[in-house]
Amino acid sequence: MSNQQKHWEKTRGLLFITLAIWFVFSIGIFLFGAEMNEVTGPFGYPWTYWFTCQGSLGAFVILIFWFANRQEKIDEEFGFSEREDE
Amino acid sequence: MKGNFIDNLPKVYGIYTGGFIGFIIIMAIAEQMGMTAKAIGIAFVAFTVFIYALIGWLSRTAQADAYYVAGRQVPTVFNGMATAADWMSGASFVAMAGGIYFKGYGYMALLVGWTGGYVLVASLLAPYLRKFGCYTVPDFIGTRYGGNLARFSAVVVLTVASFTYVTAQINATGTIASVALDIPFQYAVYVGLISILLCSMLGGMRGVTWTQVAQYIVLIIAYLLPVFWISNKMGAGFFPHFMLADEVARIGELEQQFGFVKNAAADLKSVPKGLAGITKAHSAVNATPWAFISLALAMMMGTASLPHVMMRYFTTPSVKAARKSVGWSLFFIFLLYSSAPMLATLSKLSLIDPNLPTGIIGKTFAEVEAIDWYQNWNQANLMFISDFNGNGTLELNEFFMGGKAVVLATPEIAGLPYVISGLVAAGGMAAAMSTADGLILAIANAISHDVYYKIIDPKAETAKRLLVARVLLVVIGFAGATIAAMEIQGILGSVIWAFDFAMSGLFFPLVLGVWWKRANRQGAIAGMLGGLIAGAWYLVWVRTGGSGFLGITQLTFGIFGSAVSFVLMVVVSLMTAEPDKATQKMVDDVRVPSGKTILGKSH
């Protein structure tokens, strides 16, 4: 397998992990919205309410930065990161 | 100042922010000295619009890459701010807290959808489109799939989605300008339009970028300052985001105590159009999982298909910067979105809790009608009370309010000085203007670059291309304003439709263009046109009394449109020949950050 194929394989792997986490916070937890809202969560808000106002939103912000860093590492590993002068 | 403009950005915008805060303080002092509310409103809107116009003029350019992609030198954090302003429209600013106030949990699917979409933007599209080096979204489609028909189909989808969106934004600028400047809406729409064009016409994307950063600073101050102030004034906590659990619980208690009494249809007829009462629980789960998830999903996929957002990531210096920039965009959006539910909570509690001095439920009608702010907002057609059961005291189901009032009126209800209301008007104006700018530019650029330059006259010189681009900007702006002046549809409904149109026609052609090498021209054209037509058909069908299926409503018709688009694209691609070697090589090159962009610096 060529260098580029390996790079793409890893990139795709990262995509699947990223989308899986994204799925949990955007869709997965809301399948159990009613049950989860019975329980008190962070700062005393009900769990589901907290996720819709802050939790999921914050998770997305962190997820994107995490993804960007991981992807940079993958690009570096296979020598595909950009040079500064490009 | 030494060095070039880009190196000095933090300093420039630091001084700007300081200057704006200074202006707020001067207005506050002027209010104490007897400046009228009307004069303060005019001063806020006029001052900020003047600054944006000045930035627009300073950013004027005659170069194609500056006009289309701001010279590809916008640093990550600043591009994040510009995207946030581009993204958060008049609807986010003025209507979102109101929507949460009235509809609670079910509405908050929009909060999740309008943020979660950025994960898709960052991981599936933005870095690859940046590597591609295109000027516009149809530029990517046209080059990846080849042929004028593919390019033109993309322009059609882009125009339908963005135009639906832009009329709503011009409508919002008009509404705010008409309130703040006290002129009729029909004229205010054009005042708003001229302000919008001042920012974008001379500098194109470069002008829009630097005004959007300035607009973000105004809108975020204008949103957060009242939320913190009101929370502190009510004694609800000095940092509302972490401290409103008791207030949320208290609203639940009051809802139990008052109950949601359903009004008779005849009684509701007397309520002015556009006003609503509280009929849904504030924090309880009041929507089925599918209703919530389908709305969130439609908004997420729509986010990843809207060209005016995507093109912001064409302006970063590198692929790496494009990825990081998506993160910053969402961070700046998060600051406002996470505050909207807090504002809705504070607003609702201050109105309905009889234990608070501002609470009106349980008071007699004579008492409420004597309150200054009630009279003001009743006159503005944003508040209304009516004694349906004739017992003389105001019940929860007898109080009606417009969605906009939650943001616009809460500062006044909580007893904040008028200077805050002026600030909020300036913030709303900034939010609506920045989005309208991005949208009009997206449409005008697609038509001038993709239709005029790439299809009609490929030999046109830069000067002529930019002239065409500017003429189109004005024409599209006026067309949008004319439709906005007719006031056909509400702000929020048309915003949501724009997302559905975009995802119906563009989501899969864009994503598969990068992630599926086998996708070809025939498949992409079938996907774009088929998806758009299927989505539009579903919308018309449901609007004209159709029952719909699978719980897909007129707000989520993009789910149907994009499903059709996906199936058509895959089936047609597989039935026709695979893309040629050159195209496959192109896709390979897009997938790695290093090396030259696919399209040259100037094309």
Each residue's pLDDT tens digit, B536-562: 999 989 888 878 888 888 889 999 999
Q: How many CB atoms lie within 10 A of CB B536?
A: 18
Task: Report the alpha-carbon distance of residue B101 to residue B523 in Å, rounded.
Answer: 44
For residue B285, what is the nearest residue in chain A, using CA coordinates?
A34
Q: What integer pLDDT is reported at residue B2 of this predicted model?
A: 55
pLDDT in tens, B424-442: 989 988 898 888 888 888 8
- If contacts are CB pairs under 8 Å, which of residues 47-86 in chain A contact chain B? 48-49, 51-54, 56-58, 60-61, 63-65, 67-68, 71-72, 75, 79-83, 86
For residue B243, what is the nearest residue in chain A, using CA coordinates?
A43
pTM above 0.90, yes or no: yes
Q: What integer pLDDT is reported at residue B489 of this predicted model?
A: 61
Residues from chain B contacting residue A79 (CB–CB below 8 Å):
594
Confidence of residue A86 (pLDDT cuts 50, 70, 90): very low
Answer with the one of B361, B391, B413 that is the final residue of a domain.
B413
pLDDT in tens, B359-415: 888 888 888 888 888 888 888 788 888 888 888 888 888 888 888 888 888 888 888
Name which of B347, B99, B249, B227 is nearest A45 in CA terms: B249
A2 within some domain: no
With contact defined as beta carbons under 8 Å apart, do B82 and B13 qualify?
no
Distance of residue A42 Cα from the nearest chain B Cα, in angstroms: 8
Residues from chain A contacting residue B287 (CB–CB below 8 Å):
33
- Confidence check: pLDDT of B37 > 90: no
- Pair B236, B220 in one domain: yes
Closest CB to A31 among B249, B289, B588: B289
Confidence of residue B602 (pLDDT cuts 50, 70, 90): low
A68 within some domain: yes
Distance of residue B129 Cα from the nearest chain A Cα, in angstroms: 15
- Pair B250, B377 in one domain: no
Helices B289-303 and B491-515 sit at what angle, rounded to 10 degrees?
70
Total domains, chain A:
1
A44 within some domain: no
Burial class (CB in 10 A: 0-12, 13-18, 19+), B490: middle
Rounded average pLDDT over B8-32: 91
Residues from chain A contacting residue B326 (CB–CB below 8 Å):
64, 68
- Confidence check: pLDDT of B174 > 90: no
Structure tokens at B472: 């189109």
Contact state of A18 with B241 under an 8 Å Cβ cutoff: no
Contact state of A68 with B324 under an 8 Å Cβ cutoff: yes
Total domains, chain B:
2
Distance of residue B249 Cα from the nearest chain A Cα, in angstroms: 8
- Pair B334, B390 in one domain: no
Answer with the one of B413, B430, B454 that is the final residue of a domain.
B413
A8 within some domain: no
Is the ipTM reported for this complex over the cut 0.90?
A: yes
Residues from chain A contacting residue B334 (CB–CB below 8 Å):
57-58, 60-61
For A65, the domain range is 51-77
Confidence of residue A85 (pLDDT cuts 50, 70, 90): very low
Confidence of residue A65 (pLDDT cuts 50, 70, 90): very high
Burial class (CB in 10 A: 0-12, 13-18, 19+), B463: exposed
Residues from chain A contacting residue B302 (CB–CB below 8 Å):
none
A16 within some domain: no
- Pair B243, B367 in one domain: no
Q: What integer pLDDT is reported at residue B207 of this predicted model?
A: 87
Burial class (CB in 10 A: 0-12, 13-18, 19+), B11: exposed
A25 and chain B: CB distance < 8 Å anywhere? yes
Residues from chain B contacting residue A8 (CB–CB below 8 Å):
591
For B397, the domain range is 350-413
pLDDT in tens, B479-520: 888 887 776 666 667 788 999 999 999 999 999 999 999 999
- Confidence check: pLDDT of A83 > 80: no
| Residue B251: CATH number of its domain | 1.20.1730.10
Confidence of residue A84 (pLDDT cuts 50, 70, 90): low
